[in-house]
Amino acid sequence: MQIAPFNPLTPGSAETLVLFGSRVGGLLLVAPALSETMVPRTFRVALLLILTVLMQPIALASVRGVPHISVESFVTESLIGFSIGLGAALLIGAAEAAGDIVAVQIGLSGSAILDPLSNESMPILGTFLRLFAVTLLLSANLHHTMLSALADSVQALPVGQPVSLQGGLFAMLQLGGSLFAFGVRFAAPVIAVVLIANVALAVLGRAAPQLNILAVAFPVQIALGLVTLIASLPAFGRFFGGWTGVYNGMLSTIARGFTAAAVR
């Protein structure tokens, strides 16, 4: 496929620029790190304009005819961009959910800290795992992967082409359920260790009724939970180091949802 330089006078160029800008805007709306409140709006607007202009020739090369600008096309392109960022956002959300689950299991759910990315008060372990996951994804070229997915999306879903919004939304809702599944998977080692510790403490409490089991349980739970969490961080890091396979699988599922009804 031959890609011509950006030329606003080319037939369909202006329409493609506007609609592809909606797709880029949908991505930036939910993309990890870039969508956080700490990122200045002027920076996000500038990034939106730069990415749209630089990648518009790629989108124009795959356009069939002159795309029609309408409310439906705006919504469609925004949802496609949103779905591209959703795959990475789900992994970040799963890490945060894992931290919240761990905090509840070991008794630290009441300890909150200001999240520097969202400027909201959150459980300290949820904030820690979220920042840890963002750091790992950025070190694994998160931004490059999402931009590559954005460029590849115009081949599978050309700008302005009718798609199945119902199928795409259903696919995104299905993937939303994976957030909790990944969160439980990340927190599984801590859950297992704390469960075993609670059973052991219960047996100890029955064997020695005079022992104040509550005074012993909390420090034991917290200590075992934190040690297990630290020990499981390398496995956590290995998963996020190879996150592109999971991410590409999510994008393939969403793309099939957008195109399923159109193919039929």
Taking only the tens of pLDDT, the chain with its 264 residues reads 556 565 666 777 888 888 899 999 999 988 888 887 778 889 889 999 999 888 888 888 888 777 788 888 888 889 999 989 888 888 888 898 898 888 888 877 766 666 666 666 777 888 888 888 888 888 888 888 888 888 888 888 888 888 888 888 888 888 877 888 888 888 999 999 989 988 888 888 777 777 777 777 788 888 988 999 999 989 888 888 778 888 888 888 888 888 875 444
- Output the pTM of the full model: 0.80
What is the C-alpha separation between 134 and 96, in angstroms, rounded? 10
DSSP H/E element including 246: helix 243-263
Chain-centroid distance, C-alpha 165: 20
Q: What burial class does residue 246 get, using C-beta atoms within 10 Å of its C-beta: 0-12 exposed, 13-18 middle, 19+ buried?
A: middle
CB 183 within 8 A of CB 94: yes
- Quote the pLDDT of residue 159: 87
Domain ranges of the chain: 71-77+86-263
